[in-house]
């Protein structure tokens, strides 16, 4: 049966047997007794996720249903820290000493402020992340997982109940760093209305008093997880566009102006009564400056262990 199933990878199979799962344990076993081909199997779309490889057979991750999820979830940790009284600096990356001190506050709270911080961080974790056992497709997938142990990783494969089938771990932290270093601004914007994510340089227009009147984002744009992982970070061929941002406030706009920013939102087309596009903008959602983004990944690496946070 083993060889039959190996020969049917990415194809349909009908398997008879017994299934067991143990309450309170991340373990499940299906004991197959017989198997045959199934030509009209239910579609099994590729699943994408981002997380930390704890060891090749164990990952902590959150799912990427849209490209937005990447920015939305990571920015949620910034919000959780702020609600607990710790504001990430938007203009510099936390030092290793600062990361270590923040980790200590979360893992060994010594005051009510620390306990509030821990509650907020844990709530963010429980709302977005989970732990999975990983079953690799082949030696290459195993080697990619092994090379990513201890760091931030994107995953592609199929999702199970308490485990996942890893076809590839194509992008790691060093690839993200290389992508950010090479990113370029763009011009123009495609006529689309969709949830999107961007890594963009944000610039402001100001009036005579110096008050920001308009905010723009220019850089690689991603319409789905595949575009983010492969067209963007892995191959750096994602389209670079320029969009006017709406939905910001003066305080945050001052922090974003002139910096490269990970952002997510929705592109909006404004039409006249004849259906002609007369304006377009990106409704801004969550966002992280490049320094905030790096601090978040540094903190994730330190906080997430075999049992989560």
Q: Give per-residue pLDDT as tens, 216-243.
A: 999 999 999 999 999 999 999 999 999 9
Give the pLDDT of residue 162.
79
The token duo for 170 is 């194509």
pLDDT band at 12, cuts 50/70/90? confident
Give the pLDDT of residue 296.
98
Give the pLDDT of residue 22.
59
Mean pLDDT, range 284-288, rounded to an integer = 98
Is 70 exceeded by the pLDDT of residue 24? no
Is 80 exceeded by the pLDDT of residue 5? no
Beta-bridged to residue 241, according to DSSP, are 219
Give the pLDDT of residue 54.
96
The token duo for 67 is 């490209």
Give the pLDDT of residue 10.
65
Q: Per residue in 104-146, pLDDT tens?
A: 999 999 999 999 999 999 999 999 999 999 999 999 999 999 9
Place of tokens 């789905």: 224
Is residue 20 within 8 Å of residue 28, measured between CB atoms?
yes
Give the pLDDT of residue 33.
81
Give the pLDDT of residue 63.
97
Mean pLDDT, range 212-217, rounded to an integer = 98
pTM of the model: 0.90
Mean pLDDT, range 13-38, rounded to an integer = 72
Is 80 exceeded by the pLDDT of residue 148? yes
Give the pLDDT of residue 306.
86
Listing DSSP states for the chain in one string gives: -HHHHHHTTTS-EEEEEEEEE-TTSS-EEEEEEEEEE-TTPPP---EEEEEEEEETTEEEEEE-SSTHHHHHHHHHHHHHHHHTT-PPPTTSPPPHHHHHHHHHHHHS--SHHHHHHHHHHHHHHHHH-EEEEEEESSHHHHHHHHHTBTSEEEEEEEE-SSEEEEEEEEEEHHHHHHHHHH--------S--SEEEEEEEEEEEE-TTS-EEEEEEEEEEESSHHIIIIIIIIT--SPEEEEEEES--HHHHHHHTTSEEEEEEEEEEEE-TTS-EEEEEEEEEEEEEHHHHHHHHHHHHHH-BTTB-
Closest-CA residue to 232 (of 93, 48, 52, 86): 48
Closest-CA residue to 228 (of 123, 306, 132, 156): 156
Give the pLDDT of residue 17.
82
């Amino acid at each position: 049966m083993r060889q039959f199933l190996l020969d049917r990878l990415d194809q349909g199979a009908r398997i008879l047997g017994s299934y067991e799962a143990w309450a309170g344990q991340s373990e499940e076993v299906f004991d197959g007794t017989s198997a045959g081909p199934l030509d009209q199997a239910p579609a099994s779309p590729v699943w994408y996720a981002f997380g930390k490889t704890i060891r090749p057979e164990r990952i902590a991750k959150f799912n990427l249903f849209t490209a937005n999820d990447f920015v939305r979830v990571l920015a949620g940790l910034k919000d959780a820290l702020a609600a607990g009284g710790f504001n990430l600096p938007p203009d510099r990356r936390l030092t290793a000493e600062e990361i270590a001190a923040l980790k200590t506050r979360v893992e060994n709270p010594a005051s009510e402020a620390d306990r509030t911080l821990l509650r907020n961080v844990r709530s963010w974790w429980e709302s977005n992340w989970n732990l999975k056992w990983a079953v690799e497709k082949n030696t290459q997938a195993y080697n990619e997982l092994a090379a990513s142990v201890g760091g931030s990783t994107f995953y592609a494969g199929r999702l199970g109940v308490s485990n996942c089938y890893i076809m590839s771990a194509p992008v790691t932290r060093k690839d993200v760093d290389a992508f950010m270093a090479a990113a370029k601004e763009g011009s123009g914007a495609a006529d689309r209305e969709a949830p999107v994510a961007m890594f963009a340089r944000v610039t402001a227009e100001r009036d005579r008093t110096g008050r920001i009147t308009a905010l723009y984002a220019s850089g690689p744009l991603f319409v789905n997880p595949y575009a983010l992982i492969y067209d963007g970070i892995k191959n750096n061929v994602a389209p670079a566009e320029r969009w006017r941002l709406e939905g910001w406030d003066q305080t945050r706009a001052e922090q974003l102006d002139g910096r490269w920013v990970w952002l997510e939102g929705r592109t909006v087309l404004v039409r006249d009564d004849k259906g002609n596009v007369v304006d377009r903008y990106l409704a801004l959602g969550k966002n992280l400056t490049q320094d905030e983004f790096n601090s978040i990944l540094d903190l994730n690496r330190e906080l997430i262990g075999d049992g989560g946070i």
